[in-house]
């Protein structure tokens, strides 16, 4: 039987893309804040309901640039239960990551664990809205205010997520997005940094273009992290169909939930009232004793049937060679993240997944 992949990219109509490519070819302006770049920044601000957004060439460079822009140094409190880029962005800035454990229901940084991890060297907190589930932003920011810390949210999973009609991306000092092929909304590769005022937006625009503030003036040791016109045009087309894609993902999520709710030993995440979810991932957590099979046994059984899940996030970032000697990386400091990393499988989730495919996934899991 055909392979069911864990993800599949949202692609714009090729004919429409071709029209925009012809336009770019005729203008001969292919990067450096061209018209499609400007249009996409504006369209994303409108769609995401945020005041200022700067486009990037991927979702890792906005993290690195945010830390530069806010002049973060010393130690930053973060989560081990994420994609490696979160922690790598700290490493690339010479910052020591300090891992704290997560909440077992949301998979996000546990606010109860933050204060004990603060030292005189702590300058910021970098939480992740894991799987697009909102962090406890109020408690995180109350702690940040009390200790004078900055907050940078890695919101790579949280495209379009809103709480009571307000964008989740407006929280903290800055938030970052990834528009990688595997995300809910993609620009092939791409990303963005969301900031709260125009002065900061201007500074980010300098930093992502080598620090150029004018023809001959360099105001900072910036990097090259710009998005080009081809991907900005592609992004404009994909934005037109992202609501439809999220709605289709919701149908898949509801189908999974409906069929898995009575399966002993399988836990999944439910929608939160007042939150507009984006259904970016569908993680399930296997209690081996109750389910009668370990996570890995199920994962490989699915794989044998050409149904690909992904053990996301396993292994924890804190177990990688770069980080495992850190004191905070000790598994005894991270019992919940360590357990969930052993229990999780993300099921296939994308807008073009057919009901027949969903049923094939479920056939492997429901007993
Ligand atoms: C995808 C992702 C990133 C990195 O984004 P890229 O666009 O792949 O560079 C960072 N953080 C998290 C949590 C991600 O899932």
CATH of the domain at 179: 3.40.640.10
Question: Are residue 114 and residue 251 in the same domain, yes or no?
Answer: no
Answer left, alpha or beta for residue 110, where phi above 0 means left and psi between -120 and 50 means alpha.
beta
CA distance 176 to 154: 5
pLDDT of res. 1: 79
**β-strands 75-78, 122-126 pairing:** parallel
Neighbours of 325 (CB within 10 A): 8
How far is the centre of ligand 1, averaged over its atoms, from the C-alpha of 204 (Å)?
Answer: 19
Residue 8 lies in a domain: no
User: 226 Cβ partners below 8 Å, 6+ apart?
Assistant: 31, 32, 33, 37, 55, 56, 57, 208, 209
pLDDT of res. 367: 77
Considering its fold, how many domains does the chain have in total?
A: 2
pLDDT of res. 96: 98
Instruction: Give CA separation, 24 vs 32, 85, 192, 228, 354, in Å.
Output: 13, 32, 22, 11, 35
Whether 58 lines ligand 1, by a CB cut-off of 6 Å, is: yes
pLDDT of res. 225: 98
DSSP state string for 179-229: --TTSSS--SS-EEEEESSHHHHHHHHHHTBTTBSSSS-B-S---B-PPPH
Task: Encode the chain (367 residues) as per-residue pLDDT tens digits.
Answer: 799 999 999 999 999 999 999 999 999 999 999 999 999 999 999 999 999 999 999 999 999 999 999 999 999 999 999 999 999 999 999 999 999 999 999 999 999 999 999 999 999 999 999 999 999 999 999 999 999 999 999 999 999 999 999 999 999 999 999 999 999 999 999 999 999 999 999 999 999 999 999 999 999 999 999 999 999 999 999 999 999 999 999 999 999 999 999 999 999 999 999 999 999 999 999 999 999 999 999 999 999 999 999 999 999 999 999 999 999 999 999 999 999 999 999 999 999 999 999 999 999 999 7
How far is the centre of ligand 1, averaged over its atoms, from the C-alpha of 28 (Å)?
Answer: 31
Residue 107 lies in a domain: yes
Residue 315, preceding peptide bond in cis (omega within 30° of 0): yes
pLDDT of res. 242: 98
Question: Are residue 71 and residue 165 in the same domain, yes or no?
Answer: yes
CATH of the domain at 292: 3.90.1150.10
Q: What is the DSSP letter of 307?
A: B
Mutate to test the pocket of ligand 1, among 59, 184, 225 (most ligand atoms within 8 A of CB): 59
DSSP state string for 77-139: EE-SSS-THHHHHHHTTTPEEEE--B-TTT-SB-GGGHHHH--TTEEEEE-B-GGGPPP-HHH
Q: What is the DSSP letter of 246?
A: H
Question: Are residue 207 and residue 339 in the same domain, yes or no?
Answer: no
Question: Which of 239, 266, 288 is the last residue before a domain boundary?
Answer: 239
Ligand 1 atom nearest to CA at 180: 7
How far is the centre of ligand 1, averaged over its atoms, from the C-alpha of 59 (Å)?
Answer: 5
Whether 85 lines ligand 1, by a CB cut-off of 6 Å, is: yes
pLDDT of res. 338: 98
């Amino acid at each position: 039987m055909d392979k069911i992949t864990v993800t599949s990219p949202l692609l714009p109509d090729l004919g429409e893309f071709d029209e925009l490519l012809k336009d770019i070819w005729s203008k001969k302006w292919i990067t450096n804040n061209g018209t499609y770049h400007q249009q996409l920044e504006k369209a994303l601000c409108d769609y995401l309901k945020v005041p200022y957004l700067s486009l990037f060439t991927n979702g890792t460079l906005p993290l690195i640039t945010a830390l530069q822009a806010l002049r973060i140094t010393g130690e930053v409190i973060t989560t081990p239960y994420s994609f490696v880029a979160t922690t790598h962005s700290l490493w690339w800035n010479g910052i020591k990551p300090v891992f704290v454990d997560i909440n077992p229901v949301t998979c996000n940084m546990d606010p109860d664990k933050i204060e004990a991890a603060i030292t005189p060297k702590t300058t910021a907190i970098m939480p992740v809205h894991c799987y697009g589930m909102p962090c406890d932003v109020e408690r995180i920011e109350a702690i940040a205010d009390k200790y004078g810390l900055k907050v940078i949210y890695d919101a790579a999973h949280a495209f379009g997520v809103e709480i009571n009609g307000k964008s989740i991306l407006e929280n903290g000092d800055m938030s970052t997005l990834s528009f990688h092929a595997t995300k809910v909304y993609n620009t092939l590769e791409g990303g963005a940094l969301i900031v709260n005022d125009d002065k900061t937006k201007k500074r980010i625009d300098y930093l992502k273009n080598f620090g150029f503030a004018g023809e001959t003036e360099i105001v900072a040791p910036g990097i090259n992290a710009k998005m080009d016109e081809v991907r900005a045009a592609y992004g404009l087309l994909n934005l037109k169909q992202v609501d439809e894609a999220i709605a289709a993902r919701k149908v898949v999520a509801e189908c999974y939930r409906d069929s898995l709710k009575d399966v002993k030993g399988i836990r999944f995440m439910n929608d939160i009232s007042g939150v507009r979810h984006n259904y970016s991932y569908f993680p399930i957590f296997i209690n081996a004793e109750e389910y009668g099979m370990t996570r890995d046994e199920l994962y490989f059984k699915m794989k044998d049937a050409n149904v690909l899940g992904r053990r996301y996030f396993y292994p924890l970032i804190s177990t990688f060679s770069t980080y495992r000697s850190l004191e905070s990386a000790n598994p005894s400091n991270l019992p919940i993240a360590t357990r969930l990393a052993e229990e999780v499988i993300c099921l296939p989730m994308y807008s073009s997944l057919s009901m027949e495919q969903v049923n094939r996934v479920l056939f492997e899991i429901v007993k």
